[in-house]
Chains A and B, each alone.
Chain A
Amino acid sequence: MPDARQLPTIEIDQDKCISPMRCGKCLRVCPGGVVLLCAPKFNEKFRECGPEDFTVIVHNRPACIACKKCVDICPVDCISVEFEAVEAAA
Chain B
Amino acid sequence: MCEPCDMYGKDGDYWYFNPENYARRIYKWRKTATETTVAGENPSAEPGDASLIGAMGAMQTATIDMKVLDPERYAEQVKEEGKTFRGLAQVVTLEEAQKMMEICWPITAMTCACRRMTKALKDEENFTCMGMGPGMYKWERWPQIYHGGVQFLTPDEAKDYLVKLNKMGLVHIAETHGAPYTGGICNCEMPLCGQLRARLEHNVPYVVKKGHFVAQIDPDTCNGCLHCMGRCHFDALRIHSGTRKVVVDAFKCFGCGNCRYPCHVDAITMAERTTLPTVKDMW
Q: Give A contacts to B, CB under 8 Å.
A: 1, 3, 7, 20-24, 27-28, 32-33, 36-49, 57-63
A44 and B141 CA atoms in complex are apart in Å by: 10
Contacts of B118 in A (CB 8 A): 27, 33, 36-37
Q: Can you list, as one digit per residue, whether each of B27-67 has a CB less than 8 Å from chain A (1) or not (0)?
A: 00000001100100000000000010100100011011110
Question: Contact: A27 with B119, CB < 8 Å?
Answer: yes
List the count of A-B residue pairs having beta carbons below 8 Å apart: 81
Nearest chain A CB to B173 CB, angstrom units: 18
> Nearest Cβ in chain B — how far from A42, in angstroms?
5
Question: Do A37 and B34 touch (CB < 8 A)?
Answer: no
Q: Cβ of A38 and Cβ of B63 under 8 Å apart?
A: yes
- Per-residue CB proximity of B196-234 to A under 8 Å, as 1/0? 010001100000000000000000000000000000000
Residue B1 is within 8 A (CB to CB) of chain A in the complex: no
Say whether, besides A36-B118, A44-B38, A62 and B145 are in contact (CB < 8 Å). no
Q: In the complex, which residues of chain A have a beta carbon less than 8 angstroms from the beta carbon of B56? A: 43
**Shortest distance in angstroms between A58's beta carbon and chain B's nearest beta carbon?**
7
Q: Which residue of B lies closest to A55 (CB)?
A: B66
- A68 to B277, alpha carbons, bound, how many Å? 47
A residues near B142, Cβ cutoff 8 Å: 45
Q: Does B168 contact A (CB under 8 A)?
A: no
Cα-based distance from A3 to B202 in the complex (angstroms): 12
Q: Chain A residues near B38 (CB, 8 Å)?
A: 44-46
Known: A43-B61, A45-B34, A61-B74. Is A33-B191 also a contact (CB below 8 A)? yes
Contact mask for chain B residues 58-96; partner A; CB cutoff 8 A; 1 contact, 0 none: 001101111010011011000000000000000000000
Given contacts A38-B63, A43-B64, A61-B74, contact A24 B120 (CB under 8 A): yes
- Most A-side CB within 10 Å, residue of B38, B64, B75: B64
